[in-house]
Amino acid sequence: MTTCGRGLRRALGASPRPTWRRALSDTRGRLKPEYDAVVVGAGHNGLVAAAYLQRFGVNTAVFERRHVIGGAAVTEEIIPGFKFSRASYLLSLLRPQIYSELELKKHGLRLHLRNPYSFTPMLEESAGGKVPRSLLLGTDMAENQKQIAQFSRKDAQAFPKYEAFMDRLALAIDPLLDSAPVDLEAFQRGSLLQRLKMLSTLKPLWQAGCILGAQLPRYHQVLTAPAAKVLDQWFESEPLKATLATDAVIGTMTDPYIPGSGYVLLHHVMGNLEGIRGAWGYVQGGMGALSDAIASSATAHGVSIFTKKTVAKVQVSSGGRVQGVVLQDGSEVRSKVVLSNASPQITFLKLTPQEWLPEEFVARITQLDTKSPVTKINVAVNRLPDFLAAPNTPRGQPLPHHQCSIHLNCEDTLLVHQAFEDALDGLPSKRPLIELCIPSSLDPTLAPPGCHVVSIFTQYTPYTLAGGKAWDEQQRNAYADRVFDCIEAYAPGFKGSVVGRDILTPPDLERVFGLPGGVSSYRTGGSRHSFPSLSLHLHSLTCPDVPTWLYLGPPHPALGRKRGQGQRPQQREDRDRVSCRQWGRREEM
C-alpha cells in the first residue's frame, strides 16, 4: 500500500502529510473548491475507492445524488419502525482484504451468517395428515444428504461430489477477482513490448487452469452451457435441480435452458464471509450498515462525503485535461482525478463530454442492455410466515428455515422456465420465481418486537409491458398481489400479516437507485458483461468490455502513459488498488 500511495500522491501532486493529520484539520461537511480526487456516487464501491484513495494520501470527496449513501446497498425505513435492505439484501462477495484493510469490523460491521441457508417448500397435497415435503440445505453435508434423499437417493450420493466439483472451480476463479483483467485490446493492438508486458496479466488465468487441470473441458462446459444441462448431468430430482438453478438465473433475464446460465451456478459456492467459503449472510442493521461502515472508515481518514449533490458534468479542458466536476446546483469542484461509481450509461453518456470518447466506444455503451427482470418487494409483517411444509411453533419464534433464502415456485425447473417465457411476451410471470428472505429472523434490530421485515426478490417482470406500456400503480399492485397469492399458497395467513409494502419494478429501481433498466447484475438481456455484483473490489467492475470506472486525469509516470483509450495505470501497486481506465486525452503526453 505504501508504494502505491506514494505513486498516487506523486501523480496527483497531493500532499505527503499523513491523512489522519489532514483529516483533523479538514472541516468535514463543508464543500471545498478543490480536492485531489472526486468520486461520483456513494455506492459501496465508490466509498471503497474513496477510502483507499484517502489512505494513499489523496484528498478525496464523494458526491452522492440521493439523500442517503450506499447506492443499492442501503437501509431505508420506508414503513415506520421497519428497516429494509431496500435493494441488495445478502452479503457474500465482499473481498476479505477490504474487510480487514478498511477495518470494517472496527467501524461497526456485524454479520449474521446463515445456516441452513436454503429452503424450498413443496406445494403438495399432504397425505395422511403429513406436512408437504421441503428441501432444507445448509453446511452439514450429512444433513443435506438426508434432505435430498427424500426426493432421490442417487442425488443424495451425488451432491457431495457436485459440491466438491464446484468448490474447485470457485477456488480457481477466486484469485481472478483480485487480479487486473486481461486487456485483450492491448494484446491485439499494442506494441510488442506492451504485448509482452501484458503476458504477466495472464498468469492468474494460467494458475486457474492449473487448479482445474484435466477437468478443464468439464469446467468450460459449466461456464458456457445452460444450467439445466449441467444440473441434468448430476441430478434427477426436480426440487434439487430447480433450487440450484435459481442461483443460475437470479437477477437475470435468462432461464436455466439458455447457454451461459451455467456459470452463475458458481454464485452458490463463490464468496466468503468470515473465512467461510460460499457463505452468504445478513448485515446487522441491513445492507446500509455495510455502506456506513465503509463510509466511517473513509471519513476517519479524511474523506468528505456529500449527499444530495448530483454531479451534472465532468469538466475537461480544451487540452483534454480533467478539471473537476460541475454539480447540479451549479457549483464547480476542481479535481485532477474523477472516478465514477455511477452506471456506465450515466458515466459515459451523460457526464463525460462526448467529444473525448471514441465513437465506437460510445456506441457500445449505448447498446448495453441492462434491463432487469426483477421486481423487489419489501414487506413489513406483524408475524412470521407460517409454511405448510414447516409449521411455526405456537409462540411463533423464528425457526431455522426462516433465516434461509426461501425459494417459492421453485420445485421444478420447468416452472422457472415458464415464468421466463411469460415475460418474453411482455407479461409479468403468472407464477413468478420468488426468493424470500426474512433478515429480522436473525437481526431483531430491523423491526418492532414480534414483527418482521420480508425481502421478496421476484422475477420475471419486463421493464416495458406488452404493447409498449409503462408500469402504472394498478399494474404494480396487481403484480404484488399475484406474488402475495403465491406466498399465501405456501404459507397461509401471510396476506393477513402484511402491515405495509414497497414495490420496486425495474423502472422504479432505475428511478430510485439510478440503475439503468433496473439492472441488478451486469449480466442481462442475454449479454454477458458480468462479474459478481457485490464483490466490493474495483477490479470486478472493470470488466474488459465495460469499464464502469472512469479515470480522467493527467498522464503521469506513476499512473502510466496512455495513447487513446483504455490503458491502465502501469505501476503494479497502483493497478492493483485503483483499477481505473483513463479517458479524456487523445494525444500522447
* Residues found near ligand FAD in the complex (CB under 6 A): 40-46, 63-66, 71-73, 87-90, 93, 310-311, 341-342, 346, 374, 376, 509, 513-515, 520-521, 533-534
Q: What 3-state DSSP class applies to 279? A: coil
H runs (alpha helix) in 442-505? 473-490, 494-497
Residue 4, number of CB atoms within 10 A of its CB: 21
The one-character DSSP state at 404 is: S
Name the residue type at position 557.
Answer: P
Specify whether the CB–CB gap between 65 and 42 falls below 8 A: no
Whose Cβ is closer to ligand FAD: residue 46's or residue 566's?
46
Contacts of 145 (CB under 8 A, 6+ apart): 156, 157, 159, 160
H runs (alpha helix) in 331-472? 344-345, 359-367, 413-424
Q: How far is CA 52 from the centre of its chain?
A: 20
37: which strand partners? 60, 337
CA distance 551 to 579: 9
Phi and psi at 406, nearest 5°, equal -100, 115
Whose Cβ is closer to ligand FAD: residue 520's or residue 571's?
520
Q: Is 218 left (phi over 0), alpha (psi -120 to 50) or beta?
A: alpha
CA distance 278 to 23: 37
Query: In the bound complex, what is the minimum distance in angstroms from residue 350's beta carbon to ligand FAD?
Result: 7
Q: What 3-state DSSP class applies to 479? A: helix
Whose Cβ is closer to ligand FAD: residue 118's or residue 341's?
341
Whose Cβ is closer to ligand FAD: residue 208's or residue 509's?
509
CA distance 442 to 325: 43
Query: In the bound complex, what is the minimum distance in angstroms from residue 307's beta carbon to ligand FAD?
Result: 9
Phi and psi at 434, nearest 5°, equal -125, 125
Name the residue type at position 356.
Answer: W
Query: In the bound complex, what is the minimum distance in angstroms from residue 189's beta carbon to ligand FAD?
Result: 29
Whose Cβ is closer to ligand FAD: residue 248's or residue 558's?
248
Whose Cβ is closer to ligand FAD: residue 136's or residue 515's?
515
Contacts of 76 (CB under 8 A, 6+ apart): 68, 83, 84, 86, 288
Query: In the bound complex, what is the minimum distance in angstroms from residue 265's beta carbon to ligand FAD?
Result: 16
Query: In the bound complex, what is the minimum distance in angstroms from residue 541's beta carbon to ligand FAD?
Result: 6
- Kindly provide the b/e burial profile for residues 184-217, where b requires at least 16 CB atoms within 10 angstroms of the residue's own CB: eebeeebeeeeeeebeebeebeeebeebbeeeee
Query: In the bound complex, what is the minimum distance in angstroms from residue 232's beta carbon to ligand FAD?
Result: 27
Query: In the bound complex, what is the minimum distance in angstroms from residue 542's beta carbon to ligand FAD?
Result: 11
CA distance 35 to 303: 10
Whose Cβ is closer to ligand FAD: residue 237's or residue 315's?
315
Query: In the bound complex, what is the minimum distance in angstroms from residue 73's beta carbon to ligand FAD?
Result: 5
| CA torsion, ordered 50, 349, 582, 68, to nearest 10 deg | 0
Residue 510, number of CB atoms within 10 A of its CB: 20
Query: In the bound complex, what is the minimum distance in angstroms from residue 16's beta carbon to ligand FAD?
Result: 30
H runs (alpha helix) in 356-472? 359-367, 413-424
Whose Cβ is closer to ligand FAD: residue 7's or residue 428's?
428
Query: In the bound complex, what is the minimum distance in angstroms from residue 478's beta carbon to ligand FAD?
Result: 20
CA distance 285 to 23: 27
Candidates 452, 444, 512, 104; CA nearest to 289 is 104
Query: In the bound complex, what is the minimum distance in angstroms from residue 372's beta carbon to ligand FAD?
Result: 7
Whose Cβ is closer to ligand FAD: residue 44's or residue 95's?
44
- The number of helices, as runs of H, and strands, as runs of E, in the chain is 20, 24
Whose Cβ is closer to ligand FAD: residue 49's or residue 389's?
49
Whose Cβ is closer to ligand FAD: residue 295's or residue 346's?
346
Distances in Å between the alpha carbon of 432 and those of 151, 314, 401, 412, 475? 23, 41, 21, 13, 15
Distances in Å between the alpha carbon of 80 and those of 85, 447, 448, 453? 14, 9, 10, 12
Query: In the bound complex, what is the minimum distance in angstroms from residue 341's beta carbon to ligand FAD?
Result: 5
Whose Cβ is closer to ligand FAD: residue 122's or residue 509's?
509
Whose Cβ is closer to ligand FAD: residue 340's or residue 571's?
340
Query: In the bound complex, what is the minimum distance in angstroms from residue 428's beta carbon to ligand FAD?
Result: 16
